[in-house]
Amino acid sequence: MRTILMDGDPGHDDVIAFLLALGNPDQLKIAGFTTVAGNSSAENCTHNILKIMDYLGVSIPVARGYESPLVKPLDTAAKFHGETGLDGALNYPSAVSSSDPRHAVAFQRDILGASKEPVTLVTMGPLTNIAILLKTYPEVKEQIEEIVMMGGSYSSGNTLAKSEFNIYADPEAAKIVFDSGVPIVLATIEACYSGGILLTEQESLKDGGKVSRLVYNILKFYSRYAITNGWDRTAIFDMTTIIYLLAPEIFEYRDMRVDIELDGVYTRGMTVCDDRGPTYISDPENPKRVLLKADRDRLAELFFASLKRLDETYR
Ligand code: RIB
Ligand code: CA
């Protein structure tokens, strides 16, 4: 059993990652969910995750975080997630629950401080909250098992040619986190794309239970981009973090030094992966685990098995 603290900008794929964690209670205990501005405002992201929890009757504490990155202005991903950050689930009832009165960072500090065993941070958005947490309360590092993040890339990009959105949105925060000494696992763009769920597989969710139909509706909106591009599958980016926690053995990875580019005109927010090998490793004591590829069929099996369990639990 692993205790996890989730931080993200829900966001279609953030929500699906949350659901997969919820669907594996024998392996993962969700201590809380903190929100951060990214795909949409932190206010919208908070409402979105509360709305999903209320729809399922789930009561997991949610705390709202930063509304803007440390330095650069917020640049949302409305074209992928819609103005609300969760378009495609607009006809689901609005949230009635409220978020925790504490700011996300204070909430994270309290959860980590109170936990009897180290906690895994699962990050799925810009790292603004996490950077402030580590800067303000460095003592919590001892309580963090590792950070498993959807973020960065080995060599590609989805926001700039070589920059991934979560890192690009707040590169200064990412640098603080990457330089903190806390162990980091990166679910890169490449790993996420290798684990896409087929559009034909998604169709099977339409006739499933309550949670499967919810995911079907979320993916109907989220898969528009894949359909427009003529792809046969959708990369559900953030859920790759949960799949890694459930089955790390289905991933190929390399441990290497990773730095964050802050000043490049064309490469701001790039995760610079030093893959030259041990002769050059200049940071042997703190390499990052860079996930490169997933076994897609095994990932899909875990995805659908989790949804089946959720359908049986939440009717
Ligand atoms: O680059 C993909 C990431 O950006 C995902 O976390 C998605 O939710 C968006 O935040
Ligand atoms: Ca996200």
Cis peptide before 196 (omega within 30 of 0): no
Q: Which residues pair with 18 in a beta bridge?
A: none
Residue the block writes with tokens 């790039």? 270
C-alpha 101/C-alpha 95 separation (Å) is: 16
Residue range of the domain that includes 51: 2-313
Tally of domains within the chain: 1
pTM of the model: 0.97
Closest approach atom of ligand 1 to CA 192: 2
Per-residue pLDDT of the chain (315 residues; tens, 9 = 90+): 999 999 999 999 999 999 999 999 999 999 999 999 999 999 999 999 999 999 999 999 999 999 999 998 998 877 778 888 898 877 899 999 999 999 999 999 999 999 999 999 999 999 999 999 999 999 999 999 999 999 999 999 999 999 999 999 999 999 999 999 999 999 999 999 999 999 999 999 999 999 999 999 999 999 998 999 999 999 999 999 999 999 999 999 999 999 999 999 999 999 999 988 777 665 566 789 999 999 999 999 999 999 999 999 999
Question: Residues with Cβ < 8 Å from 301, sequence gap 6 or more?
Answer: none
> What CATH number did the domain enclosing 295 receive?
3.90.245.10
Q: Which residues line ligand 1 (CB under 6 A)?
A: 9, 11, 13-14, 38-39, 77, 124-125, 150, 158, 164-166, 237-238
- Shortest-distance atom of ligand 1 to CA 38: 10
